[in-house]
Structures are given as structure tokens and as C-alpha cells.
Structure 1
Amino acid sequence: MEKKLIRENAFPSLGLGVGFELWMTFLAPRMIGVTWLLLGAVLVLFWAYSWWKHRYWANQGVPTPPVVPFIGHAHKLFAPDRMCDFGREAYYNYGGSKLCGLYSFHEPTLLVGDPELMRHIYVKDFDHFIDRRTFDMPSEKDIVTANMLTLKTGEEWKKLRAIMSPTFTSGKIKGMFPLVCEKADQLVSFCLKEARTKPFVDMKYNFGRFTLDTIASCAFGIECNSLVDEKPEFAKQVDSFFKISTGMILKFILLSLFPKLVEVLNLRLSVPATDFFEEVVRETMRARQSGNKRGDFLDLLLEAEVSTGDAEGTKSKEALDEVTIISQSVLFLVAGYDTTASTLAFASFLLAKHPEIQQRLRQEMSEMVEEHGDITYQGIMEAKYLDACIMETLRLYPPGLFLERKCVKEYKIPGMDVTIKPGMIVTSPVYDIHRDPKYWPEPEVFRPERFLPENKANITHLTHIPFGVGPRNCIAMRFALMEAKVGLAKMLLASDIKLAPGHEEIKAEFSMGLLRPKDGVNLLLDPLKEE
């Protein structure tokens, strides 16, 4: 009786134990196995999908560098320190000197390096590639950046470009010439003062202050005096535009993969310094609206009218809205500052490294002053060797390393069975084309003679494109060239530029889409005459 009682009371616990033991012995391993099997199946499906997406170019017979599943080439396209090397590899090893397929994650893009194909895409058939790469910027904090000319598309871009173009006519630029000369004189005075008290002069820093002061004065009538100000707020804020943070890279990757998530999170994509310049332009606009007109870039935008139409076809004209004016003003300030400053810094380094070229250029400047009595607009525009030195600098160190256009309607590449779909990005590797020995004998050598009038016929069309090409080229190209020529001419007439000991080489970095000196450009300046 006692044994029976014990067996009856123990049965339930024995039953649970046996059930658990059965689960652990037979069912759990099978469930775990099924789970791993499902995960494996999902991964295989994702891999197959990725493989299929990355077959786009192979199916069209376009060569492609090796891809990473799911990522494509994005790990190199989004990394500034890898982008240049990867572009060179694609150009020389995977057909990029003609055309080469790339993948930003699963999105196909096309690298085109053949000048004839570029002529079709950027010029002849421009109506198929009217837009640049665009970014959806849903945050209100990005409204100024989102409305810049460079991000405008279609008819909006055409209208805005037409409004801004008159700012950069020969007549307007000639009217700005005295202001540029005044800022260049201040640059020379400051540099020579530094040369007397410092072991070397950082010309990248000083040229940056010069271009910033020049643009602020010529375009907005603002005297920011960043050369002489011990704590130049303007310069500090504009420099922050070109510092790429890890957070910024991650945001743009997130934008590429999950644009809706960026919208939901209301992530800001523009740099905070935009707010500083937005307020500066607003204050200047208020002063102009009170009657202080100067006839400069800002006045032109304030007076501009854009054609509009309603559903019934009635056309009228309206003034540009405030956000559009502010956006173009901030763009002009920021874009014009760094590109010209970097070009001048690279040019001064190359001239210091080649004293015989520097002396020949100085001789041309001296003869110009002797003929015209001073540095004049006409003299600067006619100085052939000065122009050649600037152009050769831009060949070796183009501000923008890549050209980009976005396809807006399906396009079949002439003479090839390759189709570019709407929304696809087409890129051209400016830096690699500029240094391709196929077009440029001894491409690494600084040789301004290439660009003298008697030699220009030897240059293959569209192999020198530092300002872009076609209708979407740099709108301020002529102003930038005039500004650079004046700054360089004034410096050479005032001083002999030499390499500083320990700074005989220069490093370049790719930041925010621009090529610039990495650690400054440190040079020695020997005055040629008393100030």
C-alpha cells in the first residue's frame, strides 16, 4: 500500500520530467535545426537577390570591378580616403577609361571616361541628363541646402540658372575687378608681414581668407576682414563646411538605403554652419531692402523675377522667394571660397617647386605692368602664360574629382548595346582623365606650355574639364579665374615664393566632393621690393 501511494504521488512529476526529457532529446534540436534552416534559406534568397541585382551590367556586357554581396562598391564609394584609389583602379583596370559599371549597394551607376561618350552625355544629349544627383531632405533645417542651384532639377534649374547667369557676364566681372585688386593687396601685405615673423607662411590658409573676403565684398558688400581678424568667425564657419564626420557619412548611407526612415526621424543632413550664413544673408537683405543698393550678386537676385503660369496657361512674373535667394547666396559664399583658395594654394606650391616657371611668369606680369601701368583687367585677361599656369594647376589638381549627371529619360549609348535607365547616375573621373598618359605626355609633370595658344590644338576635347562641361558647368567660372589670376599676379610681383625646409611635398585630400591640400601649403616668401 505504501509503495503504491508513492508511485501514484510521483507519477505527475515523472510525467513532466519525461516530457521535458523528450523535448530536449527529440523536439528542441529539430526546432533549432528548422530555425537555422529557415535563416539559411533567407540568407540564400537575399544572396541570390543581391547576385541578381549585381548582374545588371554583366547582362549588358559592361565590365565591373569585383562586388561585395549586398554592398556592391558602396564601401569604397562612400569612403573619401578610398574613393580616389578605387576610381583609378576602375579607370585603368576595369574599362573605366571608356565605361565601367559600378554599384552603390544594389543601385547601378555608370563610370564614363571616354571623351566622345562624354560629349554625347554631357553636351549633345544633355536633355537626357539634365539633373545632378539629388537628395531628399525632408527636415526643415535643410531647406536652405535643398534649394541651392546645384540640387535644383528640371525646369526649376533652368529658370534659376537663367536668372543667376547675368551676374557673371564679362561686364559684371570687370566691375568687380577693383574690389578683387583691393583684397589681393591686403593679402600681399598680410603675407609679407607674416613672412618677417614666422618660419614659413601657410598659403592655403591665407588664400582662403583672401577668397572669402573677396566673395563677401563683391557679392554682398560685407567686410568680414578674415585676414586681419584674430578670431575670424566667417572663416571658422566656412571651414566647418568641409569637415566630413563619421556621423555625416552614416546619415548619407542611411539616406541611400532607408530614405523613409530619414524622413520619419527628421534627420538633418546639412552642416550646422549653414545657419550662420543664412542669418548673415538675411541681415544683408534687410539692409538692401532699406535702400542700400550696390548692383552686386545679391541685388541681382533681389530684383530678379521668375516666370510662372497657372492651369489656364496665364503667365506672370514673380520675385524670387526669400529662401531661394538665401540658398544661392550661401552656395556662392561656400563653393567659391574653397575651390579658388585650393587652386591658388596648389599653384603657389607648384611655382615654388619650379622656380624657372615662376620667373617666366613674373616676367610676363612685369611686362604687363610696364605696358598698362598697373595690373588691369585687360592685362590679366590677355596674360597667356598666367592663364596657362592656372590651367595646368587645374589639370593636376582639379577641385572636383568627378562629374555626375542623373538620367531623366531612357538613353541608349551611341554605338553600343547599353541602356541607361531613368534615375541612374553617370559619373566621369576628372582626376584620372586629367592625368591619363594617353592624353597628356608625362602627365605628372607641371608643364604650363601645354595650354599656350599654339599648343591648345593638341589637347583632346573634354580631357581638361576642371569646371565641368555642358549647360551645367560652373556658373562662376570666369569670376573664379579672374580672382585667382589677380591674387597670383599680385603675390608674384611682390615676392619670390620658395619651398620651406621640411615641406617639399604636398598632400591632397578629398573632402565634401572637393580636392584640397590636406595639411596646409607652407612656403617661404622673399620680398622683391619695399611695400
Structure 2
Amino acid sequence: MELPPGPRYILRLIPTFAVPSLAVYFALTLLQLLGLCNLSLWFIVPAVLLAKPILLLWNIHYGKWVVRRAAASFGAVVPPVVQEWSVFTIKEIAATTKTGHPCNKMLEFEEKYGHVFQLELFNNVALATTEPEHIKAILATQFESFDKGPMFIDQMSSLLGTGVFNADGEMWKFHRAMTRPFFTRERISDFEIYHRNCDITLRVAKQRLNEGLSVDFQDLVSRFTLDAATEFLFGNNVGSLLAGIPYPPSHESRTSRSFYDHPSTAFVKAFVQGQVQSAMRLNYGAEWPLSEFWADEVKPARNVMDQFIEPLMEKALARRQQEIDGAIESKAEEETLLGHLVNHTQDTVILKDELANLLVAGRDTTGSLLTFSMYMLTQHPDIEKRLRAEIFDTVGPAGSPTYEHMRQMKYVRAFLNEVLRLYPPVPADFRCSNKATTLPAARPGQKPIYVPVNTPTLYVTMNMQRRTDLWGPDALEFDPDRFLDERLQKYLIPNPFILSPFNAGPRICLGQQFAYHEATFFLVRLLQNFTGFALDDSVNIAPPADWASGIGRKATEKIFPLSHLTLYVNGGLWVQMKELPGA
């Protein structure tokens, strides 16, 4: 029987506390036996009990001295340390996951301490940065010096296992080698998946709008991306769109029993719960087991996901064996990613973990992009008209886009890039140094930043992509033209790492073209069918009043964005749309 996280964590700590105490006890006992001292029990007991805390304080102060000396030997500097107690820092960062503007706490620290600083979180010291040169080093030029790290892998293991997003070293290389060939092809079948699921999505939206009610666009596109992802990965569509979509809270009673009973509903609920709880672990660092002391709160969600994955995996493995035995004809090209994967490994744990990882990416990242694309359409009717003009000129008022159409629609691509800039699906990400190293100086005349071994390093993409010194004085404005006019040459081309929604370097997202194609396809079909996009303020949850006064944020959102592993709108994005004549 596997121990719960809390007791398992405590057992791991016992040696680190017991050894110093035992060492002090035996040392004092030896001194007494040798007649060198005569100590009372009142002295021995406190000395034994305080051995570890005293050693810990010594290690902290001695460690800082060692780091300063090591930094000097590298010709580097140590970034400033946030002067706030660990307990308060962790509490406030954890609260941000539920109520705060994504990365706003990091922005407060940034405005006080600069674009790179250190956070002391109990026994851990983490580094945070929004410098493009640092992100370039972490993801590309010094890639070998940074891993996901043991702490992140431990935090995510219940949900992601040993999948590609939660692996380092040879296991990561194995996953990349398995999946890369499948994502390098341009397959007509991908567009067939988009077309089939997009048509169902738009039909469901029209049915709800015809009832005179608004649509939760976030829920709608999350179902679209989930159905498309499961069809792409497994060749078996989970059919979440067939379950229907939720009604606004004031009409919740009209939601049918079949909606709650549909197999996809339990899958989606578990899928989201697993990510939310996994994100909470990130806030607590290595001490996360203490927040789930008696039970792993992610594992039940992953078990529900596996109940869907396992039968499909077993079917794919059985088919492969039939092809080997000659019972059925082998296909020249695998139609699904699962069919591709079983030809490279038959390890069921590896297969399940990889598929769970890709489901997170396939559903949530593209769903987030489309959700915030809709939000921008509600705020910028002029941009909507310009997008539709390009779509009609390139694709026409009906029909589906092709690869060639997508290459021609420059403004559509610029629009999606601008959404990714202001609302990156992954607002922040982690790496961990596997050796002592430095991050390059961000400006001429500055010294590099020293990074000790095993330092968790957080790069805050969302804040970096809103910096006015990197993007110009209009950085907080939504303007797709910045990817088409002179600002592209001035800001982006000299340093492409100031836009990194899909990561970069060796860990660059293999499915980024699939995501771009899927989002573009949906956007084209949406604008061929609908216009007059508007928020339903009677349903949407307004952001907290104190956001607008948040330090440096200038938060102007009319919605309530939050982040677990990916960015989403709290309470959903409820919108009204009008059908285009003849659509």
C-alpha cells in the first residue's frame, strides 16, 4: 500500500533531522564519559532538539556566503532577494491562483527589485526573471544547463507521470523522438478533424443563440479542442460537444440530465480538477505534500482520465499485434498519434503518460488561445471587420481554409500572435539549473547573473510580453499591426525571445503548427458565420475592484482571467453573437 504524500514526506525528512540530533547526543555523551564536562539533562535535551534548526540557520547564512564567493569567481552578481517572509510570499502567490491577476505578484516584486530577483521559499531559493536574454539562455543557448528538475517533476507526477512535459534526460529525448515525426507532416486528415468538429461546434452555438441566450464561449471551444484532440490522438472522439453546452446560471434548470450523465462530463471535470490541484502544488514548492497530507488529490482525477485512455491504448496495441501476425494489413501511414506511438513502445505506463501530457496541450492551450481571441473580438469591432475582409478575400464567405490559405492570411496570423502576446496560454514556466552557471547580462556594462546548482528558475512570459521597454510605449494595447509594421523590425526581430508562447529551443512545442492551424481554422469558420460579438455582462464574473489599482498592472480587463497550468477565464466567457446573413 502506497503511503499518502504527507507521511511519505515526513519519513524523507526524518534522517535530515535525526542525524544532527544523534550526532550532538553522542558527542555530548562522549565528552561526559571522558570526564571533560558534566552536563545536566536540561542542557542536553534542548541541544539535541535544536541541533537541526541551528544547523539549518548556519547552512542558510553560510550558503549565502558561498554563493557570493562563487558568483565573484564567475565574474557575476547575485540578484536581489525579496524581503518578505516565506510564509507570506507563498500565501500570496497561492492566493493569486484563485483570486489574483495572473503573475501580478511577480510584477509587484519586479517593479520593486528589477527584472530578475530571488525568492526565499522555506528551504528553497528560486530565481524569477522576465529578461529575454535569460529566457533565451534557459530555453536555447544554455539548454543543457537547465532541466525541468526533480521538484517540478515530483509536483506534476500524479497528473503527467513521465510524459514529455514532465521528463528530463534520456526519457525526455525518448518522448521527443517518438512524437516528432508525427508532427512534422502536413496531413489532410488534420483538416478533416478541424472541419468535422468545428461544424458541430458552430451548430451547437447557433442552437443556443436561437433560444435567446448567451453562450459560454470558453466552454464551447474547450469542447471543440478536446474532441479534436481525442480524435487526433486516439482516433476516438470523446464527443463532449454531443453532451450539449451549459446554460447560463439563471437558466441552469434547463440543462438536461443527459448533459451531466454524458461520459465526457466526468472526463472533463477530472481533467480540469487535476490541473487546478497540480497548479496549487507549484505554489508550495517542495513542501507541497503537506498541503495534501493524507491523500493525493490529483491521482483520482488522473484515474478517471486513464479509464478513457486505457481501452483505446489496448485496442491500438492489439491492432499492432494483428499487423505483426499478418491477421490484418498494415497501413502505410498511421492515422492517429496513438497508432504512431505503439509502433515505438509497448510500455503501457509510458503510453498513458504521453497521451495524458498531449491531452493537456491539445485541449487547454488552443482552447485558451481561442477564448482570449473571442474576448479581443468583443473589444475591437474594427479588428473583427478587418479579419473578416481578409478571410473573405482569401477563403470566401463559405468553405474551409487550406494550408495555402493560412499562409496567405497575414493579418489573421498577426491577430493570433497578438492574443498570444498579451494572453499567453502558459503565463509562466519553470526550469531548474542542473549545475552552477550564469545567465547573460541583460544590458551592456552589466554583469551576468549567477545561478547556483539546483535553483528553480521561473520565467514569467506574461509579464515579459507586456514590458513597455521591450514592446514600446503601447505594449499594453491590443494591436495586431505590431507584427506587420515597423515595430516588428524594431522590437521583435532583434530579439525573438520576447515572444515565446510555445517555448523555444530544443523543447519547442512540437504541436505548435497543429495549434496554429486549428485556431486559424476555427477563427475563419467563426467569422464566416457570426458577427456582433459582445460580452454578456449579466453573466460574466467581473474582475476584483482592486485589480485596476494593482501596482504597475493597469489592469483593464472586463473579464476575470486566472491561471492553473494554463490561462482561463474564471466563470467562463459568456458572449452574444449574431449570425451573418446567408451563413
2:249 corresponds to: none
2:140 corresponds to: 123
How many Å separate the matches in 1 of 2:507 and 2:276?
Answer: 30
Structure 2 residue 575 is matched with structure 1 residue 520: no
How many Å separate the matches in 1 of 2:230 and 2:275?
Answer: 27
Alignment deviations for residues 222-264 of structure 1 (CA, whole Å, 9 cap, x no partner) = 12221121334324423433347998788777871387x999x
How many Å separate the matches in 2 of 1:127 and 1:505?
Answer: 42
Structure 2 residue 407 is matched with structure 1 residue 381: yes
Structure 2 residue 315 is matched with structure 1 residue 287: yes
SS in 2 for 1:198: coil
SS in 2 for 1:64: coil
2:129 corresponds to: 112
How many Å separate the matches in 2 of 1:505 and 1:474?
Answer: 30
1:315 corresponds to: none
How many Å separate the matches in 1 of 2:237 and 2:282?
Answer: 35
2:247 corresponds to: none
The aligned amino acid for 1:224 is V
Structure 2 residue 440 is matched with structure 1 residue 409: no
Alignment deviations for residues 458-504 of structure 1 (CA, whole Å, 9 cap, x no partner) = 32421111111221122211111111111111111101042135259
How many Å separate the matches in 1 of 2:439 and 2:215?
Answer: 50
How many Å separate the matches in 2 of 1:78 and 1:94?
Answer: 20
The aligned amino acid for 1:516 is Y
Q: 1:301 to 1:473 in 2, by over 3 A?
A: same
Alignment deviations for residues 148-176 of structure 1 (CA, whole Å, 9 cap, x no partner) = 1111111221121121111211424x431
Alpha-carbon contact 1:53-1:106 (below 8 Å) kept: no
2:263 corresponds to: 233
Shift of 1:113: 1.9
Q: 1:39 to 1:237 in 2, by over 3 A?
A: same
Alignment deviations for residues 296-346 of structure 1 (CA, whole Å, 9 cap, x no partner) = 100110012xxxxxxxxxxxxxx3411111111111122321221121111
Equivalent position to 1:510, from 555, 563, 568: 563
How many Å separate the matches in 2 of 1:354 and 1:67?
Answer: 41
Q: 1:412 to 1:374 in 2, by over 3 A?
A: closer
Shift of 1:130: 3.8
Identity, in percent, stands at 24
How many Å separate the matches in 2 of 1:494 and 1:274?
Answer: 37
2:530 corresponds to: 495
2:13 corresponds to: none
Equivalent position to 1:476, from 473, 487, 511: 511
How many Å separate the matches in 1 of 2:280 and 2:527?
Answer: 44
Q: 1:384 to 1:170 in 2, by over 3 A?
A: farther
How many Å separate the matches in 1 of 2:436 and 2:515?
Answer: 35
How many Å separate the matches in 2 of 1:204 and 1:246?
Answer: 16
1:90 corresponds to: 109
Alpha-carbon contact 2:528-2:580 (below 8 Å) kept: yes
TM-score by length of 1: 0.80
Alignment deviations for residues 418-438 of structure 1 (CA, whole Å, 9 cap, x no partner) = 432222111111111111111
How many Å separate the matches in 2 of 1:250 and 1:522?
Answer: 26
The aligned amino acid for 2:272 is F
How many Å separate the matches in 2 of 1:360 and 1:193?
Answer: 27
How many Å separate the matches in 2 of 1:253 and 1:357?
Answer: 38
The aligned amino acid for 1:510 is S
Q: Alignment RMSD, CA only?
A: 3.6
Alignment of 1:357-506 (within 5 A): 357-370=383-396, 374-414=400-440, 416=447, 418-441=449-472, 442-452=474-484, 455-458=487-490, 459=492, 460-502=495-537, 505-506=558-559
Q: Larger radius of gyration, structure 1 or 2? A: 1
The aligned amino acid for 1:493 is Q
Q: 1:331 to 1:44 in 2, by over 3 A?
A: closer
**Stretch deviating more after TM superposition (350-359 or 110-119):** 110-119
Structure 2 residue 185 is matched with structure 1 residue 154: no
Alignment of 1:183-194 (within 5 A): 183-194=197-208
Unaligned segments of structure 1, at least 5 residues: 1-30, 305-318
Q: 1:507 to 1:146 in 2, by over 3 A?
A: same
Alpha-carbon contact 1:409-1:422 (below 8 Å) kept: yes
Equivalent position to 1:214, from 228, 232, 244: 228
Q: 1:262 to 1:498 in 2, by over 3 A?
A: closer
Alpha-carbon contact 2:560-2:569 (below 8 Å) kept: yes
Q: 1:194 to 1:247 in 2, by over 3 A?
A: closer
Equivalent residue pairs, number = 479
Alpha-carbon contact 1:494-1:528 (below 8 Å) kept: yes
**Stretch deviating more after TM superposition (226-235 or 197-206):** 226-235
Alignment of 1:331-370 (within 5 A): 331-370=357-396
How many Å separate the matches in 2 of 1:147 and 1:239?
Answer: 22
The aligned amino acid for 2:336 is D
SS in 2 for 1:102: strand
Shift of 1:387: 0.7
1:169 corresponds to: 184
The aligned amino acid for 1:387 is R
Alignment of 1:135-146 (within 5 A): 135=152, 137=154, 145-146=160-161
How many Å separate the matches in 2 of 1:106 and 1:335?
Answer: 32
The aligned amino acid for 1:521 is L
How many Å separate the matches in 2 of 1:149 and 1:66?
Answer: 36
Q: 1:274 to 1:247 in 2, by over 3 A?
A: closer
SS in 1 for 2:242: coil
Alpha-carbon contact 2:430-2:457 (below 8 Å) kept: yes
SS in 1 for 2:341: helix
How many Å separate the matches in 2 of 1:349 and 1:223?
Answer: 27
SS in 2 for 1:462: helix
Structure 2 residue 350 is matched with structure 1 residue 324: yes
How many Å separate the matches in 2 of 1:245 and 1:138?
Answer: 11
Equivalent position to 2:340, from 297, 300, 304: 300
The aligned amino acid for 1:207 is V
Unaligned segments of structure 2, at least 5 residues: 1-40, 70-76, 244-258, 323-327, 442-446, 541-556
Alpha-carbon contact 1:57-1:101 (below 8 Å) kept: no
How many Å separate the matches in 1 of 2:310 and 2:448?
Answer: 52
How many Å separate the matches in 2 of 1:384 and 1:477?
Answer: 17
